[in-house]
Chain A
Amino acid sequence: MFAYYLDLALRSLKRNRVLTVLMVLALALGIGATITTLTVLRLLSGDPLPQKSAQLFYPQIDPNTKDGYIEGQTRPDLLMTYPDAMNLLHAHRATRQAAMAMTQARIMPRQPNAHPFYSDAVMTTSDFFAMFDAPFQYGGGWTASDDDSRAHLVVIASFLNDKLFGGANSVGRIIRMDDHDMRIVGVLKPWAPQPRFYAQGLGSRSYGDGDALYLPLHTARALEMRPQDTECYAEVPDMLNLETAPCEWLGFWVELDSSSAVSSYRQFLDGYVRQQIELARFQRPESSMLDLMSFLRQQQVVPDDVRLQAGLAFGFLLICVVNTVGLLLAKCLRRSREIGVRRALGATRREIFIQFMVEAGMVGLAGGVLGLLFAELGLFGIRHQPAEYAGLAHLDVTMFLFTFVVALVASLIAGILPAWRACVLAPAPQLKAA
């Protein structure tokens, strides 16, 4: 029976080629636009570390003065001062904890006639790699004692290892950075969580390539490397000594494995703030600790434009569906006589309904296939845009399947009204008119 409906639908679609093309094209454009923008939206609002994000938390405290403070409304600043980050780090109250800031490192390749270049670098503490599940190709991270002894060592990204050492095991070799010799202790596998959550608020980009170089925070500071972003909240007597200046420039993450660990860390954080208020270092009692995904939402890391584009595409799809409903309906109203004949010959309402839904479904599938092409075209366009996330825009399998579901659902919704109209037609008047 289904084959018969398919045959009927094909015949009907062939009878009005221009109209069929119009319906399929409109639906395909709507679906193409929706899938393109949804792919980007999904990509940008994704979980950077799916296996770990529930255990990662971002504590925030507020060293600002009471000036401009509204109780219960003013949120603590995003970054931390050096003393606070070090106090929390050395308290070891979490399974793992790390402080970090972004910087730029000047790298001098060993090859003769090679030009120096700048690369993104992370100055951080020893737990960084284990806490964020950064995978090593060769070697490993450094230890807490390396942090304290300001050891001249670095971990490099795979792309930097490819560039400098042709991808060979470079552990133990020396890299010339900011006119200092640094020993390589580890080489990461390709690693670039999206969004770049750990760089959020540190003056770096939110999406895109991973960082080239990781080195101990104290080592970097001893070499006078400066953070990309520094926010000061009071008179600064000595800008060069960021460790004592009233400036926030560090991001601080902790790993907490259970909900009891989370609540006890919250208590610890509140206790720390109370203690700092007693010491007259702090004035504001607020503290906050968001998990990774809440932190990204609160930071509104997904650009407004991307969310607007998705909304716009949905509006567009809606217009396309209304358009298809109208055209299908017009078509079926013209075929009332055919329906009358089929009903008179014994077709039930249900059969008429199914026949029209099959026809709508075929329009939908054709729209889906064409829509997929449009989506690939749209994503191709996005990859050639200047946005920092541009290179990431690829259609994945889920989105591929989703395209067909969207297409089918959209077309079936568009088909319901015409199909219902067709099946409730009384056969007798239609036959009489003939």
Chain B
Amino acid sequence: MAIRPIEIRPILASLRKHRIPAMLIVLEIALACAVLSNAVFMISKRVSDIRLPNAIDEQGLVAVSLRGTDQKLVGSDIPRNLAALRSIPGVQQAAITNSLPLSRNNWGWGFGVSPDATLSRQKSVNVSLYFIGEGGARTLGLKLLQGRFFNADELGDSKFGKAALPETHAVIMTRQAAQHFWPGQSALGRTIYSRPFYYTVVGVVDNVLRPNVFTQNTEKSYDVLYFPMSAAGSMGALSYYIVRGAPRDRDRIMRDAEQKLAELNPGAVAKGETYLSVRDKYFADMSSMAWMLVLVCVVMLAVTAFGIVGLTSFWVGQRRRQIGIRRAVGATRGQILRYFQTENFLLSAAGVLLGMAFAFAINLYLMQHYEMDRMPWYYLPGGAISLWLLGQLAVLGPARRAAAVPPVVATRSA
């Protein structure tokens, strides 16, 4: 016997009779599809933000902030503290800096590429400044792409005067900052200006994040400059001791380093943290939002699926007699099964078509009122296919119960 194609016309005729329940299923699927695709888009945006690459040794790095030291003594205190940190077993490198990527401790400034550039110029590139002492580049694990790291002279001579910028002439910048200053050209040996200061690029490193990232414009999150800084001339700007060791040692190193600095500097406040926890803390809000979105999606899909199961079950119950008659006049179980599956397929199709339009409209609204990008097109069919599959799964149970209706039902009075 040849397999006959499913007749759609009787299904449509039957749906016309149950217009309102059919419309409700369509509406529910449409709403679920619209919310799902937007929620998944928001989740993926957050996941990609949380995973922003950061070219430092995140795994092995430990930071101890030390605040409240006597600024007049930093010239001798810092080398003493660093020597103590280096004596901790397992410590490979130790250095000092003013801030860390994702620490929310930002030192921002604007620079230009022409000698008359000032901080406030519209054309100036806004960047975050990091100041590192001796061994800083290696402790952080910066990846040098071009040029060199700071030499001993630059590190020893650099100091703060009264202004907000250091008195030195060397700067290292990230690949992304170099692109923003000189698009498509090499940055090495060129000069950036912020009157009356100017700095020559001695090295370009792989992209390191700013203390605060921009979620809308991810590229700007990598506009970072590194300056050399001597302990004696740092005027208290350097308060993060950074220590690098093997990842398996980092928790112990963190405790030891915090304890050591607190002992050596009794009046000051030392607080240790692994770099990974700095990073986790920065993205904690974002990741809890992502988890909430996941939870809502799961519960919403479950509610939709149960709604479909409930409605279809009633449908089947209502039509037991008709099903019995069809079976009695020769319809196979498979045909009954396919009837309900096709019916659901048609309803889902209408639902996801409407849902994709809703999803698009919601995305447009969110773009206008929130910091939201345009949803890539593939989220629409993605959401549609998910709801389609969900509908087919949900209808399977009731449809099989329908297929199990014996033909003899036709002979009984209802």
Which residue of the partner chain A has the closest CB to B162? Answer: A238
Q: Which residues of A contact B163 (CB under 8 A)?
A: 236-239
Q: Mark A144-157, 1 if CB is under 8 A from B, else 0.
A: 00000000000000
Q: Which residues of A contact B262 (CB under 8 A)?
A: 115
Q: Which residues of B contact A92 (CB under 8 A)?
A: none
B307 lies within 8 A of A323 (CB): yes
- Closest Cβ of chain B: how far from A320's Cβ, in Å? 6
Q: Which residues of B contact A65 (CB under 8 A)?
A: 120
Q: Which of A30, A232, A303, A323 has the most CB of B within 10 A?
A: A323
Q: Which residues from 256 to 297 on chain B have a C-beta closer than 8 Å to any C-beta of chain A?
A: 262, 267-269, 281, 284-285, 288-289, 292-293, 296
Rounded to whole angstroms, the CA-CA distance of A3 and B306 in the bound complex is: 31
Q: Mark B172-197, 1 if CB is under 8 A from A, else 0.
A: 00000000000000000000001110
Q: Mark B368-390, 1 if CB is under 8 A from A, else 0.
A: 00110000000000000000000
Q: Is B252 an interface residue (CB 8 A)?
A: no
- Closest Cβ of chain B: how far from A15's Cβ, in Å? 13
Q: Is A235 an interface residue (CB 8 A)?
A: yes
Rounded to whole angstroms, the CA-CA distance of A334 and B67 in the bound complex is: 74
A326 lies within 8 A of B307 (CB): yes
B288 lies within 8 A of A385 (CB): yes
Q: Which residues of A contact B269 (CB under 8 A)?
A: 106, 115-118
Rounded to whole angstroms, the CA-CA distance of A78 and B268 in the bound complex is: 33
Rounded to whole angstroms, the CA-CA distance of A398 and B196 in the bound complex is: 60
Which residue of the partner chain A has the closest CB to B23? Answer: A326
B119 lies within 8 A of A319 (CB): no
Q: Which residues of B contact A318 (CB under 8 A)?
A: 31
Q: Is B353 an interface residue (CB 8 A)?
A: no
Name the contact of A312 in the complex, choosing from B39, B288, B317, B414 (C-beta under 8 A).
Answer: B39
B288 lies within 8 A of A116 (CB): no
Name the contact of A331 in the complex, choosing from B24, B288, B314 (C-beta under 8 A).
Answer: B314
- Closest Cβ of chain B: how far from A180's Cβ, in Å? 12
Q: Is B232 an interface residue (CB 8 A)?
A: no
Name the contact of B32 in the complex, choosing from A22, A240, A308, A319 (C-beta under 8 A).
Answer: A319
Q: Which residues of A contact B318 (CB under 8 A)?
A: 333-334
Q: Which of A235, A331, A417 has the most CB of B within 10 A?
A: A235
Q: Which residues of B contact A108 (CB under 8 A)?
A: 267
Given A312-B39, A319-B303, A323-B303, does the pair A387, B288 have CB atoms closer than 8 Å? yes
Count contacts on B: residues with CB < 8 A to the other chain.
Answer: 53
Q: Mark A214-239, 1 if CB is under 8 A from B, else 0.
A: 00000000000000000011111111
Q: Is A64 an interface residue (CB 8 A)?
A: yes
Rounded to whole angstroms, the CA-CA distance of A26 and B308 in the bound complex is: 13
Q: Is A421 an interface residue (CB 8 A)?
A: yes
Given A118-B269, A235-B196, A330-B315, does the pair A33, B296 have CB atoms closer than 8 Å? yes
A239 lies within 8 A of B35 (CB): no
A22 lies within 8 A of B310 (CB): yes
Name the contact of B20 in the complex, choosing from A26, A64, A235, A421 (C-beta under 8 A).
Answer: A421
A326 lies within 8 A of B25 (CB): yes
Q: Which residues of B contact A433 (CB under 8 A)?
A: 414
A239 lies within 8 A of B162 (CB): yes
Given A115-B269, A319-B32, A326-B307, does the pair A386, B289 have CB atoms closer than 8 Å? no
Rounded to whole angstroms, the CA-CA distance of A116 and B266 in the bound complex is: 9
- Closest Cβ of chain A: how far from B251's Cβ, in Å? 20
A329 lies within 8 A of B296 (CB): no
Q: Which of A22, A64, A108, A330 has the most CB of B within 10 A?
A: A330
A330 lies within 8 A of B289 (CB): no
Q: Which residues of A contact B195 (CB under 8 A)?
A: 235
Rounded to whole angstroms, the CA-CA distance of A309 and B196 in the bound complex is: 48
Q: Is A257 an interface residue (CB 8 A)?
A: no
Given A386-B288, A387-B288, does the pair A233, B370 have CB atoms closer than 8 Å? no
Q: Which residues from 387 to 434 on chain A have a C-beta closer than 8 Å to any C-beta of chain B?
A: 387, 417, 421, 433
- Closest Cβ of chain B: how far from A103's Cβ, in Å? 12
Given A316-B300, A334-B318, does the pair A322, B285 have CB atoms closer than 8 Å? no
Given A232-B164, A323-B304, A329-B21, does the pair A309, B315 have CB atoms closer than 8 Å? no
B306 lies within 8 A of A64 (CB): no
Q: Which residues from 62 to 120 on chain A have a C-beta closer than 8 Å to any C-beta of chain B?
A: 64-65, 67-68, 104, 106, 108, 115-118
A322 lies within 8 A of B31 (CB): yes
B311 lies within 8 A of A106 (CB): no
B300 lies within 8 A of A237 (CB): no
Q: Which residues of B contact A334 (CB under 8 A)?
A: 314, 317-318
- Closest Cβ of chain B: how far from A201's Cβ, in Å? 14
A327 lies within 8 A of B311 (CB): yes
Q: Mark A317-351, 1 if CB is under 8 A from B, else 0.
A: 01110110111011101100000000000000000
Listed by A's residue number, 12 A-B pairs whose Cβ atoms lie within 8 Å are: A106-B68, A108-B267, A116-B68, A235-B194, A240-B162, A305-B285, A307-B370, A319-B28, A319-B304, A326-B24, A329-B21, A333-B314
> Which B residues lie at the A interface, using CB under 8 A?
20-21, 24-25, 27-28, 31-32, 34-35, 39, 42, 67-68, 118-122, 162-164, 194-196, 262, 267-269, 281, 284-285, 288-289, 292-293, 296, 299-300, 303-304, 306-307, 310-311, 314-315, 317-318, 366, 370-371, 414
State the 6 A-B residue pairs at the shortest beta-carbon distance, nearest first.
A386-B284, A330-B314, A323-B307, A326-B24, A68-B122, A238-B162
Given contacts A315-B35, A326-B310, 18 further A-B contacts (CB under 8 A): A22-B306, A26-B307, A33-B299, A67-B121, A106-B269, A116-B267, A118-B269, A234-B118, A238-B162, A239-B163, A308-B370, A316-B35, A323-B306, A326-B28, A327-B311, A330-B311, A331-B314, A387-B288
